[in-house]
Each structure stands twice: as structure tokens, then as C-alpha cells.
Structure 1
Amino acid sequence: MQQRILLVSSADNGLTRRARLALRRSGRMVRTAVVTTSGDIEKAVETCDSDVVICPFLTVRIPESVYTRWPTVVIHPGPVGDRGGSSLDWAISEGEPLWGVTALSAVGTFDSGPIWATRTFRLPRLRKSLVYNGQVANAAIECILEVADKAADPHFRPLDQENAHRPISHARARRLMRQSDRAFDWASDPEQILRHIHAADGAPGVVSTLAQRPVRLYDAHPGRNGLDAAPGTLLGRRHHAVEVACGGGTSIWVGHLSIDLGDRWSCKAPSTAALARAGIVLGTIPTTTAAAAGAAGQFTDITYRRLGPVGEIGAVEFDSYNGGMTESLCRRLTFAIRAAACQDTKVLVVRGRGHAVFSNGLHLGEIEISPESAQQAWRTIRAINALCREILFCRQLSVVAMTSAGAGGAMLPLSADVVVATGHSVIDAHYRTMGLGGSELHSYTLPRRVGADTAHRLLEAAEPIDALEALDIGFVDHVGPDIGFDDWLTALASEYVQPERWLSTMKRTRGRLARDLADKPLDAYEFEELGEMARNLFADSLGFEAKRRAFLYKTPYPRYPEPRHPPPVPAMASPH
């Protein structure tokens, strides 16, 4: 009999979606319940016919009436012996070299139940959101699949924690981390400051002060040395990040923050946009090249390098904070790809920096904090479309390597000749839940790859797919290993450098492009998409404004509104 699993989660986040897809891929029947209270959990299991309840991400107490009736397993982002709701925050803040994930039975005391499975991993010096969606999520999925296997074994009994091996001997119960625990002095060593901001990344941020204004800090990066400025001084900006002086003549870069606007806190947004909203405008810190910027401790979110034994592969890497792409990033990435295509290389690889999230399309924080949010969203969608065009018509064979992605970020790679994904990628190939029709030339590129019927299903069902399904339907061309993906990608790109493969691929992809666009110009696809987007943005026809705010401020999502009467579509010049 097919095993039935109920996933109970406080949010349908990346880990929950990965768990659902992995369990279904392994042959189980899976149902997901998103809950906000203990009462919601009781309602979710009222008609429960599941064999086991698994909680991949839960912030509320599980009622005794639930865990005494069904095997109920909590996935805790800490090693054996660790307890508390700020487990990962403490580990990153204190610079732990090793950390873990534990699957344990729900009992009356948080994180103290018998153990079903556990994994240990090296803890990288990265921000919490990257660690959670990377190392923690990978370990959690392994534990969840092991739990499902053990739940089907009538002879299995979970191990009491008192009898379990503790790979991290000092793991213990810790209280919730407070802002007083996160606080730092700008005169401190930058490494210490970085750890504190990394540990609060995603949420809740670190409360501090910049330009005499209370702020919450996120997205921190190492800065420069040899500076002569008082700690806490705002030194300037580069792209969307601001540089802040620290102790010992050093600095850090802060890419995102929220700011006290007097009557309320702003949403989390690019630092320059958030400060400008409060009337604080900084000058730009100049640098000559991206390579020089990195060497000098300057902030850079786009890099270029050559790969392969004879350097015939160009690689453009970009960093979109948690997948959000600003207007500036899209425009600069377009210029970077155009410049890379002028090099004497045969293959151009475009990829996100790191292995957590490739892109989720529009940067909602930049849109929300703008005084003219609809206009900002319109400018950004036009910038992303220009980026898609640059990839589509690139003179070199283009390869886009994606990890998890959503909405416009999932459609962006489809402009490439070759699309590859990591094995753990989760792809939300739809816009619907955010109240947008979407653009990114998807009305051409998506059916071209998967067919009209599958394209319609992906857009309307609003359900994620995993990398293997993406491969099966033609959304991607190759799926690479999670471990060693970088080397695998270089080897794959080297294969496409070979004359026969290069020529056959270009004939196939560019030949079809020419035939398709002879029947219907690309401008026609884009104008149709932008017509719908204009109604979404300027008439709020699908509730984008309320859904965007619900996402940014973590409030309940509104129901889909009835479409409003569409306004006239704004006049548009050429989309180039």
C-alpha cells in the first residue's frame, strides 16, 4: 500500500516544497497543510488518513492530541542535543565549524523527543538564508526520506536522546536569540560584525544605527582595509550596497536593510533605496573593473572569468539577494553578457553565485519602497526582458545554469541555447500566486521548450516541479550533481565547445528561433505580455499590491480578487 504523509509547516517555503517533491518522487502520497496556530494543526489532522506527520518548518506548538495519535516528526535545524528556536542563529553568530539537522518525535518539550534521523555538515561562513536553503535543506531532505522509510517499518523505534551519540558535544538547549544578543559596536572587528548580521539574515535582521536613523541590517559582505573613518560612518555606495566603516580602519558592505520611517518600519529593501526613502542619498564609490573591485574589497554582484583548459568558455556570475533582481542588476547583467559575448570564446555560461536560489524575478522590496511602485515594477520588468533578449540573441552558444527559481527567474534561463539545473532545484514556473501575468518572453520560450499544453499546466496549476520533472518535460536539457556541480558544469560547457557539438546545437536552436520569429515577431509576444502586466501593475487587476505586501510583511495572503476593468495600455517604445 502506498505510504501517505502529511506535511505540516508554518509556511510553504523552499524546504517544504522540496520535501513534498522528494517524497512524491520516492513514490509516496503527500498532502501539505500550512498552519499558523496549534488549532490549525488539529484541524489539519481531523480527517487525517496519513501514516506519519512530518513537520519540516514549524514555529507553533504541536498539540498533544496530535502527536499521541499519529507518529509526528519535527525537523530541527540543529544537531543532537541542540534545542531552541534560534538554533541556526546561535551557530552562525558563534562561528560553529560543524552543525546539523535532527528529525525527532514531537513531545511536550520542544526538541527533546526521540531521534529518527540526524545529519552533520560543515557550517559555511555565509548568511543564514543561504545556509538554511543550502546545507540545512539538503540535510533535512535526507532526514525526511529516512523518516519516511523508518515509518514504514513496524519494528522501528526512535532512539531516546539520552542514548544517542552527540557529534557536537557542546550542543545544548538555548533560548530564543534577542536583539541584545545580536547587538554589536561598529568599532568591533568586521568578522564579528559579519557573523552577527549573517546570523540574523532573512529574519529578523540586526537593529543598529546608520546616519542617526534606526535600521535593521541584512546581506553583509567584507569590505576594505586601510581606511580613515570613524566606525559607523557611511562611506558611500556601490550599486545597491552601502559601505560602513568598522574598527581598525576596515569596513563592511550592507546590501539590504529596513529603516525606521518614523511612523513605521520600511520593508527589507536594497540599502540605497531604503536610505533614499528616508532622504539619505550617498555618492558612488568608483572602481575600474569588477575584478579590481573584488581585489580591493569593493562590493560587486557580477563577475566574469574564463574557464576550460584553453579559456574558450566565458562565465558570467551574478548574485541576486534571495532571488530578487533589481532594475540596476538586470541592466548591468545585460551589459555584462553583451561584453562577454564580444570575447574570443565559443560558449558563454550564465549562472547565479552560490547554489541556493538562482532568481525569483522582480525584487519586491525595491518595488514596495519606491514612491511609485507600479512604475518601478514596470521599469524592472522591461529590464529583465532586455536581459532575456540579450541571452536569446547572444552570438555565442549560451548555457544558463540554474538552481531553485520562481516566476520570472524560472523563465529567464529559457532564453538560452542550453539550460541546466542542479539536482536539488525546485522550479516554480508560474506567476499566479503573486498576482502577475508575467513576462520574460515566456509566452514564446516556455511553449517552445515544453509544448503549449504543458506550458499552460505549469502556469495555471501553480505547483512546483523538481529537476527531474523539468528534465522529463524539456524545461531543462541537463541535470547536474549537487556535489561537484561546478566541475560538472565546466566539463559540460567544454563538451559544447567541441566543433561538431557546437555547430549542431547552434543549428538546432538558432534555426528554430529564425523560423519561429519569421511566423510571429518577438515584439508581438512581448507586447502581449506587457499588455497584461500593465493591467496587473497599473490597475492592480490580480491583487499584486496586496500579495506583494503580504509576502514582504509576512501577513496572510489575500484571496484572488475579481479582475477589474483593464485601463488603456501605456504607449511603449521599442523594447530594446
Structure 2
Amino acid sequence: MRILLIAGAFNSLTQRVHAELGDRGHHMSVELVGRDTPLAAVVRRHAPDLIVAPMLKTAVPREVWSACTCLIVHPGPVGDRGPSSVDWAVHLGERRWGVTVLQANDEMDAGDIWAFAECPVPEVGKSDLYRNEIADAAIEAVLSAVARFASGTYRPQPQDTLPAARKAGRTRPPMRQDVRRIDWSDPTETVVRRLRAADSQPGVRDELLGAPWFLHGGHPEDTLTGPPGTLLATRCGAICRATGDGAVWIPELRPPRGPGEPGTFKLPATLALGDRLPPLPELPAPLDPGQGPRTWSDIRYREDGPVGFLGFSFPGGAMSTDHCRRLLDAYRHACSRPTSVLVLGGGRDFFSNGIHLNVIEAAADPAEESWANINAMDDLVQAVLTTTDRWVVAALGGNAAAGGVMLALAADEVWCRSAVVLNPHYRLMGLYGSEYWTYSLPGRVGPETAARLTERALPVTAAAAQRIGLVDRTVDCAPRDFTARTAALAARLASAPALQSRIAAKKARRERDEADRPLAAYRDHELARMHAIFFDPERPYHALRRAFVRKEAPAGTPPHLSAHALGASKSRLP
């Protein structure tokens, strides 16, 4: 079928719906829409068989939905209505949630039901939940709804005819800051839940050191205590703030936006506070917390017999210069251990999205910080590429993009949860790219496919990535099970009789490749291109970075999406 996706942004769910439906042979097109988008004209131009809206903040006009079936993906159970469904699920501590695919009509979220899928709600942040359990349920429901539409025989069910037991939701208002407000004398569990319900956007507005801030993200701390609301310590860019019975670590802050000012953006908390931050102890992050008290660390290492596990989790998957250097130190520590298999990643959310554009944008000299960041990424990737005494597996439980994909490709094998979406390209940020991609990407998929991936700049499902050789294994499991499944597969790999011969073969291959063309030559070539981009203020990278960081709406649908328009056959719109 010819399917048009309409969305407020090409976000993680929209990308996944696009890639999953494309994998199933549908002809996909995308239009990004806002309040002023002439949607009827857009639909007439595309003339789709079906419209799907994975993430839409505006109503679909009658002239559109009355002429062409439009399926709305609502991230809430049947009967749930309102724009803050996932926020409420986390805020209220719901155990089960769901996604409903309904038909657009005159009343928001009130149309007939085409499909519904349930999902658990683990104790994670809203954005993590949205990219994982919610996205899994959304895909299940969307695929079912699209198949039912394609059959031509299915009739959607009016909401008021569904059994009461399935109508778990209700109309909820937008979640405002007065609801999100934190009482710092509350227990840690309550505070963490409120922080997690707003972790990506909009954050929790609060007073800190005499000024307003939006707090983003929250992790419980069981050891540190103090008067509720006081700052206790820092760690790796995060601040620790006391609650009624413990404390929480807050990784990121964002200042409020003033009248007429450009959009503000999240930064590591200590960087955002700058000189306002009083003297506080910098507590080292435990690399292996073991079974001790709950605390937060963005990098962790553990061992199970011959297998080492180096996990990391950075907000939004962005890796600053500091993140890269600390992860490189941890990687070198892992390589000093007597293991034969090293698993890199293995967590449930983002693997990596490459360099940290927010930190770069905030720097006194963004060009210099861009240069430092890409070199730190290259140092990390080089360490992985040149590890020849053990087998390295990159385990992606969540999405990856740009340099994050290339970090994964530096490993000997890439394992992905089946729900992962990869964006192996740099072009949309006006970058040539580095991280040795000109060595690793063509080496895996061939030069023609590498060129297609980097030029088309479209998302790729894990299944499609495996078919072209971009990844080696997909793991079909729930988000909560990926770490354990990865550990079991790694243990089996470590016990395989052929492992040592495989390690020896890869060492010999690396030596042959080095003799043919040194890694340094790939790096020099890539960095020469990147240096020219970073230090030329007229290059598109700088404007694209600013727009991305400040979440400025694009003037229209980006060319790489609109170029795949469905065509101009006769429209059913008047």
C-alpha cells in the first residue's frame, strides 16, 4: 500500500513505524506537520491509500479524515484521552499501559478502534519507556491495524461498544508544572517518579540555588542524606540532591526560556550551573557497585567468568568529550582483565548517538569543542578496533545513530534487540563523519550499500540491518530481558571451542588490513573533512546544530523524506 506518515517530528517512534512498514513492502512517505500545515493539500499531493499518524500534536481536519482513512497512534489504553498519557502513566506508578490505534474523527482520541496492544510499565524514565515498551506495543498495534485495513473487510469498533474491562483509560488533562512540582521532603521513590515522568521533556520546574531550572532525569541514592532539597555532591556532571529519606542524582538541567529568547536546551547539571555551583565533593562513580546500596553511575563494569560486561548509559545517547574519555578509561580497564569475551553496551535504551551537540553548542568555542569531541570519539573507536586479544561484542538494546553506529561496528560482532532502529549516517547534520566509518562500514556491507545508507539517510530496522550485514544477530525479546539474553549468548560464545581460533584470525586480519592501509590514514582523511566543516562558520553544520539543539521546527519536511513522496495519482480529497 501507499502509506503517508504525518507527524509533528521524525522522532524515534515515527522512524520505527516508517522502517517497519517499509520492511513489509509498503511504499512509505513522510510529512512533518504543524498547526499551519495545509494538510489537505499535502494529502492531495501524496494521494495515499492510508494515513498513519505515529506522533501528532495537532488535530486532523475533517476534509482529510472524511476522504482518507487516518489512523492515530495514541500512547494510552482504550478510552484514554489527552496529550500527556505516558507522563501520567509514569507519574501515577501504573503497572500496565498500552497503545491504541484509532480512526481520526471530530473529537480528539475518540475515534473507532482499529487495534490495541498492552505493555508493562517498568521503573524507568518516560523517554526510555516510550522508546521501548510503548514503541513495541505501538508497532504491534500499527501492524495489526494496517493489515486489517488492507484486508478491506475489517470494521473498526466504536469505543463505547468495547468491554468495560478494556477501557482502562480516561480523559486526562495536560500535565502541568503544578502537578509535577516536587516536595523535597517527600520520599526518594516519590521524587524519582516525578522526575522520571518529565525526564526528556518538559523537565520539572524547580528553584535551585536561587534561580529557576528545569530538572531532567532522576536516579535514587541510598547512602547520601541531608536536609531535604540541599545539594550534597556531584558525580560525572550530575548533582545529588537530598530528599526526605535519601537523595536523587539529577544528570541534566535546562534554564527556562525568557520572552523573545531562543529555545534553551539540556546540559550536564554541573556544566549548566557553572560558577553558581557551590563547593561540593566530587564522588567517584563506582565501576562495579555489586550488591551495595542503590546509587547512580553512567558507566559500569562486571564480570561473569570469562565474560566482561562494560555497560554505559548517557542521556539521549549523546557522548561528550568527557563521556568518551571516561568510557575509554573504563574500556582499557576491561581489556586489562582476564576475559576472552567483552560485551560493550547491553543496556535497554540508547546505545549511542555520537557526539554531544548540546555540550558543543554551549561551549565558548563550538568549533574547538566539536574537534575535541570527535577526536575523543575516534580514540574510543580506535581502542575497540585494535583490540585483538579477545572477542568484542557490541550489544544494542536501544537505538543508535551516526557515530554511535560506527562505535558498534568497531566490535567483532553487533547484536541488536529486534526492535532497534539504526541511523548509520551523518548527512542530516551537515557532517562528513568520522569514527573510522570509511573503514568499518564498507568493510561490513560493501561500498555500494555503504554509500546508499549514508546518502539516503533513512532509518534501518535491526532485521534489515542483519540482512545487509550491518549487524550479526538480532535478539527477539522484551526490553527488560535483553541484558540477561545477551549475557547467556556471551557465555555460550566464550565456551565455544572455536573462540580462540576466531580471535587469532581477527588479529591476523587486522594486521593485513593495517599493512594494506593503516587506520591512521582513514582517521586523517575523515578528520581533514571534519576540520574543514567545524572551523568554517558558513558550513550548514553550525545552523543545523543550533536548530537541532534548540528544537526549532523545520520550515517544511526535510528533502530526504519528501523526496520519497508517494506520487501524484488522483486524490480522493475534494
**TM-score, normalising length: structure 1:** 0.91
Match of 1:477?
472
The separation in 2 between residues aligned to 1:435 and 1:452, in whole angstroms, is 21
Match of 1:459?
454
Q: SS of the residue aligned with 1:6?
A: strand
Which protein has greater RCO, CA pairs closer than 8 Å, 6+ apart?
2
Q: SS of the residue aligned with 1:291?
A: coil
Aligned partner letter, 1:255: P
Contact 2:78 2:168 in 1 (8 A): no
Once the two structures are TM-superposed, the CA of residue 225 in structure 1 deviates from its matched residue by 4.1
Structure 1, unaligned stretches of length 5 or more? 562-576
Over 3 Å counting, the alpha-carbon distance change for 1:423 and 1:6 in structure 2 is same
Match of 1:571?
none
- Is 1:252 aligned to residue 248 of structure 2? yes
- Is 1:543 aligned to residue 540 of structure 2? yes
Q: SS of the residue aligned with 1:155?
A: coil
Contact 1:80 1:165 in 2 (8 A): no
The separation in 1 between residues aligned to 2:498 and 2:464, in whole angstroms, is 25
Q: Structure 1 vs Structure 2: percent identity of aligned residues?
A: 36
Q: SS of the residue aligned with 1:39?
A: coil
The separation in 1 between residues aligned to 2:81 and 2:112, in whole angstroms, is 13
Over 3 Å counting, the alpha-carbon distance change for 1:268 and 1:287 in structure 2 is closer
- Structure 1 stretch displaced more, 370-379 or 261-270: 261-270
Match of 1:564?
none
- Structure 1 stretch displaced more, 162-171 or 420-429: 162-171
The separation in 2 between residues aligned to 1:188 and 1:24, in whole angstroms, is 47
Match of 2:169?
171
Over 3 Å counting, the alpha-carbon distance change for 1:288 and 1:526 in structure 2 is closer
Over 3 Å counting, the alpha-carbon distance change for 1:289 and 1:129 in structure 2 is closer
Match of 1:430?
425
> Superposition pairs for residues 550-569 of structure 1, below 5 Å?
550-557=547-554
Match of 1:207?
205
Aligned partner letter, 2:377: I
The separation in 1 between residues aligned to 2:257 and 2:233, in whole angstroms, is 21
Q: SS of the residue aligned with 1:359?
A: coil
Contact 1:221 1:252 in 2 (8 A): yes
Contact 2:5 2:53 in 1 (8 A): yes
Cα deviation digits, residues 425-449 of structure 1 (max 9, x gap): 1111001111211111111111111
Equivalent of 2:356 in 363, 367, 381: 363
The separation in 2 between residues aligned to 1:458 and 1:508, in whole angstroms, is 29
Match of 1:328?
322
- Structure 1 stretch displaced more, 521-530 or 476-485: 476-485
Once the two structures are TM-superposed, the CA of residue 48 in structure 1 deviates from its matched residue by 3.6
Once the two structures are TM-superposed, the CA of residue 97 in structure 1 deviates from its matched residue by 1.3
Aligned partner letter, 1:528: H
Match of 1:79?
77
Aligned partner letter, 1:480: V
Aligned partner letter, 1:215: W
Once the two structures are TM-superposed, the CA of residue 70 in structure 1 deviates from its matched residue by 0.8
Match of 1:349?
343
- Is 1:407 aligned to residue 402 of structure 2? yes
The separation in 1 between residues aligned to 2:147 and 2:162, in whole angstroms, is 20
The separation in 1 between residues aligned to 2:522 and 2:395, in whole angstroms, is 25
The separation in 2 between residues aligned to 1:140 and 1:161, in whole angstroms, is 18
Contact 2:264 2:550 in 1 (8 A): no
Match of 1:566?
none
Once the two structures are TM-superposed, the CA of residue 37 in structure 1 deviates from its matched residue by 2.5
> Superposition pairs for residues 253-268 of structure 1, below 5 Å?
253-260=249-256, 266-268=264-266
Contact 2:378 2:435 in 1 (8 A): yes
Match of 2:570?
none
Once the two structures are TM-superposed, the CA of residue 558 in structure 1 deviates from its matched residue by 7.2
The separation in 1 between residues aligned to 2:404 and 2:141, in whole angstroms, is 29
Match of 2:380?
387
Match of 2:365?
372
Equivalent of 2:334 in 322, 340, 355: 340
Cα deviation digits, residues 498-555 of structure 1 (max 9, x gap): 3542134224432222111112111111111111111221114542221112112211
Match of 1:23?
21
Match of 1:569?
none
Once the two structures are TM-superposed, the CA of residue 161 in structure 1 deviates from its matched residue by 0.5
- Is 1:147 aligned to residue 142 of structure 2? no
Over 3 Å counting, the alpha-carbon distance change for 1:166 and 1:408 in structure 2 is farther
Contact 1:38 1:62 in 2 (8 A): no
**TM-score, normalising length: structure 2:** 0.92
- Is 1:36 aligned to residue 34 of structure 2? yes
Contact 2:286 2:300 in 1 (8 A): no
Match of 1:111?
109
Aligned partner letter, 2:242: A
The separation in 2 between residues aligned to 1:79 and 1:553, in whole angstroms, is 32
Aligned partner letter, 2:472: D
- Structure 1 stretch displaced more, 259-268 or 328-337: 259-268
Contact 1:423 1:480 in 2 (8 A): yes
Over 3 Å counting, the alpha-carbon distance change for 1:466 and 1:540 in structure 2 is farther
Cα deviation digits, residues 301-351 of structure 1 (max 9, x gap): 1111123xxx11111000121211122221111111111111111111101
Q: SS of the residue aligned with 2:331?
A: helix
The separation in 2 between residues aligned to 1:115 and 1:541, in whole angstroms, is 50
Cα deviation digits, residues 28-73 of structure 1 (max 9, x gap): 2221111112633222201343221111100011000000001111
Once the two structures are TM-superposed, the CA of residue 370 in structure 1 deviates from its matched residue by 1.9
- Structure 1 stretch displaced more, 133-142 or 88-97: 88-97
Structure 2, unaligned stretches of length 5 or more? 560-574
Over 3 Å counting, the alpha-carbon distance change for 1:510 and 1:246 in structure 2 is same
Match of 2:91?
93
Once the two structures are TM-superposed, the CA of residue 85 in structure 1 deviates from its matched residue by 0.5
Once the two structures are TM-superposed, the CA of residue 292 in structure 1 deviates from its matched residue by 4.0
The alignment covers a number of residue pairs equal to 552
Once the two structures are TM-superposed, the CA of residue 22 in structure 1 deviates from its matched residue by 1.0
Aligned partner letter, 2:372: R
Over 3 Å counting, the alpha-carbon distance change for 1:320 and 1:288 in structure 2 is closer
Once the two structures are TM-superposed, the CA of residue 128 in structure 1 deviates from its matched residue by 0.7
Contact 1:365 1:552 in 2 (8 A): yes
Contact 2:182 2:194 in 1 (8 A): yes
Q: SS of the residue aligned with 2:448?
A: helix
Aligned partner letter, 1:477: D
Match of 1:445?
440
Aligned partner letter, 1:520: R
Q: SS of the residue aligned with 2:351?
A: strand
Over 3 Å counting, the alpha-carbon distance change for 1:166 and 1:416 in structure 2 is farther
Contact 2:224 2:242 in 1 (8 A): no
Once the two structures are TM-superposed, the CA of residue 270 in structure 1 deviates from its matched residue by 1.0
The separation in 2 between residues aligned to 1:292 and 1:153, in whole angstroms, is 53
The separation in 2 between residues aligned to 1:481 and 1:499, in whole angstroms, is 22
Match of 1:305?
302
- Structure 1 stretch displaced more, 141-150 or 486-495: 486-495
- Structure 1 stretch displaced more, 410-419 or 38-47: 38-47
Over 3 Å counting, the alpha-carbon distance change for 1:64 and 1:286 in structure 2 is same
The separation in 1 between residues aligned to 2:464 and 2:224, in whole angstroms, is 51
The separation in 1 between residues aligned to 2:433 and 2:376, in whole angstroms, is 13
Contact 1:267 1:369 in 2 (8 A): no
The separation in 2 between residues aligned to 1:261 and 1:147, in whole angstroms, is 40
Computed over aligned residues only, the root mean square deviation of the Cα atoms, in angstroms, reads 2.1
Contact 1:213 1:260 in 2 (8 A): no
Q: SS of the residue aligned with 2:498?
A: helix
Q: SS of the residue aligned with 2:217?
A: strand
- Structure 1 stretch displaced more, 110-119 or 455-464: 455-464
Match of 1:232?
229
Q: SS of the residue aligned with 1:491?
A: helix
Q: SS of the residue aligned with 1:70?
A: coil
Match of 2:568?
none
Over 3 Å counting, the alpha-carbon distance change for 1:362 and 1:287 in structure 2 is closer
